């Protein structure tokens, strides 16, 4: 088997996605994070394709999908979740397992809360929905959200500077364990002329994800999905207590960690795949 690459029109946007595995197998949707795209799953998909039908889309404004200007497209997580919902329905993918990482968590959990009958199980890899999981950097973001100014907004352009992106990949990982391929491609995507303002809109909107944490936790309490919270435990953005917090609301939550950072798949794809197969295979 092999991974194939597709584009489908959804809501007048071209949505790119990767596909692997047999469509007769259970579907697993893979929701990427910032500042990445579906290429972050390039090492995971071959390890799961014998057991799952895998679909990994790029959100609008990311990767190979349409990247409209922020004046023409509302860059909020609610809007990205709505586009992904339409993507799911267009491809007829439900029910499904979902793998959520970083930005993929608020997108995926909005979909799960709205359509709990679609969700067969959840893998959350550094995909936070708890206050306990917010690292120190979120305090300065709270100040930006509470007291926004053009100067503070401009300051967040550093979030997609090349050295920042490289740091997201390398911080907390074992020496020489991370290929440069992922962060080099992410840095290339930032060169799109629409990229910066689009992403700054999402950084400002992230506050609404945190406000929805109680709703996401209620979804877990009411539905008790089978859930694997597997964390790169050295992630400074979403700290390991965020993984442990799932057990407060979901009696089926299993918590594991790997010796890595935020982009744990870059160094530990084999270990994460093995845990997924043990829990859901």
Parallel, antiparallel or unpaired: strands 119-124 and 253-258: unpaired
Question: Crossing angle for the helix pair 104-114 and 77-91, nearest 10 degrees?
Answer: 60
Query: Own/partner pairs for 140-148, CB < 8 Å, 24+ apart?
Result: 141/203, 141/206, 141/207, 142/207, 144/203, 144/204, 145/204, 145/206, 145/207, 148/204
**Residue of 98, 93, 101 lying closest to 32 (CA atoms):** 101
Q: Give the active site residues.
A: 262
What strands, in cross-sheet order, belong to the sheet with 227-232?
A: 4-10, 13-20, 53-57, 27-31, 96-100, 119-124, 227-232, 253-258
Cβ distance 108 to 127 under 8 Å? yes
């Amino acid at each position: 088997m092999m991974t194939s690459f597709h584009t489908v029109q959804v809501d007048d946007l071209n949505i790119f996605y990767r596909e692997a595995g047999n469509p007769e197998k259970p579907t697993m949707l893979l929701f990427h994070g910032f500042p990445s795209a579906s290429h972050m799953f390039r090492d995971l998909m071959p390890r799961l394709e014998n057991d799952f039908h895998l679909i990994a889309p790029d959100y609008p404004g990311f990767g190979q999908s349409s990247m409209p200007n922020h004046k023409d497209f509302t860059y909020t997580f609610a809007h990205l979740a709505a586009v992904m919902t339409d993507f799911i329905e267009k491809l007829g993918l439900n029910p499904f397992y979902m793998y959520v990482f970083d930005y993929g968590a608020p997108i995926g959990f909005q979909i799960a809360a709205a359509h709990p009958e679609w969700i067969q199980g959840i893998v959350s890899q550094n995909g936070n929905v708890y206050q306990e999981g917010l690292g120190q950097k979120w305090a300065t973001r709270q100040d930006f959200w509470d007291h926004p100014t053009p100067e503070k907004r401009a300051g967040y352009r550093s979030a997609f500077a090349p050295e920042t992106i490289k740091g997201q990949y390398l911080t907390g990982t074992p020496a020489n364990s991370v290929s440069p391929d992922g962060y080099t491609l992410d840095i290339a995507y930032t060169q799109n002329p629409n990229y910066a303002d689009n992403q700054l809109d999402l950084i400002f909107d992230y506050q609404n994800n945190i406000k929805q944490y109680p709703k996401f936790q209620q979804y877990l309490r009411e539905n008790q999905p089978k859930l694997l919270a597997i964390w790169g435990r050295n992630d400074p953005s979403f700290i390991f207590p965020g993984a442990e917090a799932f057990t407060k609301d979901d009696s089926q939550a299993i918590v594991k960690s790997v010796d890595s950072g935020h982009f744990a798949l870059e160094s530990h794809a084999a270990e994460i795949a093995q845990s997924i197969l043990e829990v859901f295979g």
